[in-house]
Amino acid sequence: MQTIMEKIKARDPEQKEFHQAVAEVVETVRPALDAHPEYRHQKVLERLVEPERIIMFRVPWMDDRGEPQVNRGFRIEMNSAIGPYKGGLRFHPSVNLSILKFLAFEQTFKNALTSLPLGGGKGGADFDPKGKTDNEVMRFCQSFMTELYRHIGPDTDVPAGDIGVGAREIGFLFGMYKRLRNEFTGVLTGKSLNWGGSLIRPEATGYGCVHFAAEMLAVGGDALAGKTCLVSGSGNVAQYTVEKLIDRGARVVTLSDSSGHICDEAGIDAQKLAFVMRLKNVQRGRIQEYADAYPGTVFTPVDPTRSSNPLWEHAADCAFPCATENEINGEDARHLVAGGVRLVVEGANMPTTPEGIDHFLDAGVLYAPGKAANAGGVAVSGLEMAQNSMRLHWPREEVEGRLQMIMKNIHKNCLAAAERYGSPGNYLVGANVAGFIKVVDAMLDQGLV
């Protein structure tokens, strides 16, 4: 086990986020490896950590001033044991191989947990959509797809959104794919409703997280109603997490973006959330503007000299990190526990550092890792693919009902796997072991490929 970490570190020494994601899985699946000696014989870990294929390409595009720009594009086709590669595209200046390999690795297990036939993948570019015009974003997406189209397809690899990629970008990407291939297929998910998108896909990740949180509390006879919640981020996942929390009678007091966070002790209600959705999705503004619109709200800018995030210092019962990786470190975790937080549900991918996770588990916090709690997004992407294949469009209740059932099943399967492999109540072990066994058994059935 030691040797596999040593090997991947020696091979790609700079890929810290990838090492972090792999180490978490390697440490937690040990009991499954012990129970199945064939897994070690067949070198399943060694095979899982090596992507089936990595595509890297130049993305040249012209900005509005007529100046040529060049970005780097990627697609990691990680694992196709249980279905076509599936996972989002991220457009953010921090995108590199380490970030995308960690995301594609986690995606493989997450997709297995959904119970749908979805392999794992992830892609994106170091392009920053912030401050770009719609025309610049369109030209970038068209150039990106001019290379990507030859590697993807509805039965091969089906990308979707992630940070910096929402309905606008999916539209531009789909338009270019259709033009290049002369095919109208479900090659991307997160499409708009009037041309192949699924109802509930925009809501799915956030809603799914809150369903998962409700399931966790229900085990102890508790519920979200009346709970004070901290939410970070203010993008797709954060917005619909807040919507569902309000629905369930919780009080949400924070939101953030990369410039800082707002705290509204009066609680973010439906009307204020509608303001945030307009601000972020239409005007593409900053969360600070919430404090101008709603007096009594405090905006705290990011302080780069601080080692912890003041958002996690507010007293609360529950925390939903929905912005990005490693946004809760050990110090933040200590602040959360000291402030009364007893439930942490990850909307983002790998938002908690290993030290933070250890602190939550030691303190007896109910902790749900992203690969279980945020799987509702990709699950409804899977349902979008199913509808596209059948050339059908399911009503809202059908998709919402299936999403709820999927989240309930993931919750049940995580608890069952944790119990069976000696860590009752530990959702981290449960999610990793359940996802791992499903993927690995499929790999073994298919031989050494």
191 part of the active site: no
Q: How far is CA 63 from the centre of its chain?
A: 30
- What's the CA angle centered on 134, arms 129 and 140, to 5 degrees? 60
Measure the CA–CA gap between 46 and 8, rounded to whole angstroms: 9
202 forms part of the interface with ligand 2IT (CB under 6 A): no
Residue closer to ligand NDP (CB basis): 121 or 377: 377
Q: Of the two residues 33 and 399, which places its CB atom closer to ligand 2IT in the complex?
A: 399
Interacting partner of 163 out of ligand NDP, ligand 2IT, none (Cβ under 5 to 8 A depending on kind): ligand NDP
Our CA angle for 77, 320, 417, nearest 5°, is 60
The number of C-alpha atoms within 13 Å of 371 and in the hemisphere containing its C-beta is 30
Indicate whether 129 belongs to the interface with ligand NDP (CB under 6 A): no
Q: Decide: is 324 part of the binding site for ligand 2IT (CB under 6 A).
A: no
Please, are residues 84 and 119 in contact by the beta-carbon 8 Å criterion? yes
CB of 337 to ligand 2IT, least distance (A): 27
Nearest to 375 by CA among 417, 335, 337, 404: 404
189 binds ligand 2IT (CB under 6 A): yes
- DSSP H helices, 345-395, are 354-362, 370-373, 376-390
Q: Which amino acid is at 272?
A: K
> Is there binding between residue 197 and ligand NDP (CB under 6 A)?
no
The amino acid present at 430, given as its one-letter code, is G
Token couple for 35: 């129970």
Q: How far apart are CA 229 and CA 441, in angstroms?
A: 39
Binding partner selected for residue 382 from ligand NDP, ligand 2IT, none, CB under the kind-specific 5 to 8 Å limit: none
Compare residues 42 and 308 and give the one whose CB is closer to ligand NDP: 308
Asked if 324 interacts with ligand NDP (CB under 6 A), we say yes
Q: CA-based Rg of the chain, rounded to a whole angstrom?
A: 21
Q: Which of residues 68-127 bind ligand 2IT (CB under 6 A)?
A: 86-88, 107, 110
Q: Using the rule CB under 6 A, is 335 a contact of ligand 2IT?
A: no
> Cβ atoms within 10 A of the Cβ of 289, count?
16
Query: Which of 257, 317, 331, 384 contacts ligand NDP by CB under 6 A?
Result: 257
Residue from 122, 272, 371, 438 carrying the catalytic annotation = 122
Give SS3 for 402. Answer: helix
Burial grade of 281 (CB within 10 A; 0-12, 13-18, 19 or more): middle
384 binds, among ligand 2IT, ligand NDP, none (CB under 5 to 8 A by kind): none
Contacting range for ligand NDP; rule: CB under 6 A; set: 228-236, 328-336, 356-364, 417-425: 228-236
Q: Which residues bind ligand 2IT (CB under 6 A)?
A: 86-88, 107, 110, 160, 162, 189, 349, 377-378, 381
Which of the residues are catalytic? 122
Q: Which residues bind ligand NDP (CB under 6 A)?
A: 161-164, 166, 205, 233-238, 257-259, 322-324, 347-349, 374, 377
